[in-house]
Amino acid sequence: MGQNGLNALLSLAGLEQYIDDPPPNTLDRQFDFAHMAALNQALEDMYGGRGGRGIALRIGRACFSRGLRDFGAFGGVSDPAFQALSMDDRTLTGLKALAAIFNNFSDQHTEVEDDDNKFQVIVDDSPMAWGRQSDKPVCHALGGIMQECLRWVSNGYEFYLQEVSCHAVSRDECIFTINKKPIGRRQ
């Protein structure tokens, strides 16, 4: 996207104030969910639905790999005791750690449920869907964060993840389903 693309995206989202003065890189809750939703919408407006989705997924993966994986909750991933856990236990633990980070450091409330053949991640107050109306789910960056989290805790395996309910599609919550069986391993 580059600096010019970022500046155009910020302008399209109505967030020109961040072009020369980005928000602080702190854990303070100073970046409004409405701004996240505006950026998400601007990605779709700028690159189309499919292009915006692809970029948002990449942004989510980068958010996890460049920051979230260093949170204390993920510090023990390389520990032999963690590696000895079953794949289901590692992925469930990783998703619960991610939910704890969201719950403790943002206004997004996240729960993880363990069903027989899938996990469900339930998100109230998704920053991607905040105040938006759409005919399809829009929380692609959150999906990217979850995909990268699962890849990290599973030593490179990819999982099928789908947002099956979204607040932007007039639902009460954003719900992601994740098959427990991995679809492959990224080298």
Q: What is the CATH number of the domain that holds 119?
A: 3.90.1520.10
Enter the tokens of residue 54: 């692809």
Instruction: Tell me what pLDDT residue 187 has.
Output: 62
CA 89 – CA 121 distance, rounded (Å): 15
Distance of alpha carbon 54 from its chain centroid, rounded? 13
Distance of alpha carbon 148 from its chain centroid, rounded? 9
Enter the tokens of residue 184: 């492959």
Instruction: Tell me what pLDDT residue 44 has.
Output: 93
31: containing domain: 2-185
Among 108, 115, 97, which Cα is nearest to 174's? 108
Which letter does DSSP use for residue 133 in this model?
Answer: -
Say if pTM beats, i.e. exceeds, 0.85.
yes
Overall number of domains in the chain: 1
DSSP 1-42: -HHHHHHHHHHHTT-THHHHSPPPSSSSS-S-HHHHHHHHHH
Q: What amino acid occupies position 156?
A: G
Instruction: Tell me what pLDDT residue 169 has.
Output: 93
CA 114 – CA 87 distance, rounded (Å): 13
Tens of pLDDT along the chain (187 residues) come to 788 888 999 999 999 998 998 887 777 777 888 888 999 999 999 999 999 999 999 999 998 888 777 777 676 777 888 888 899 999 999 999 999 989 988 889 999 999 989 999 999 989 999 999 999 999 999 999 999 999 999 989 999 999 999 999 988 899 999 999 999 887 6
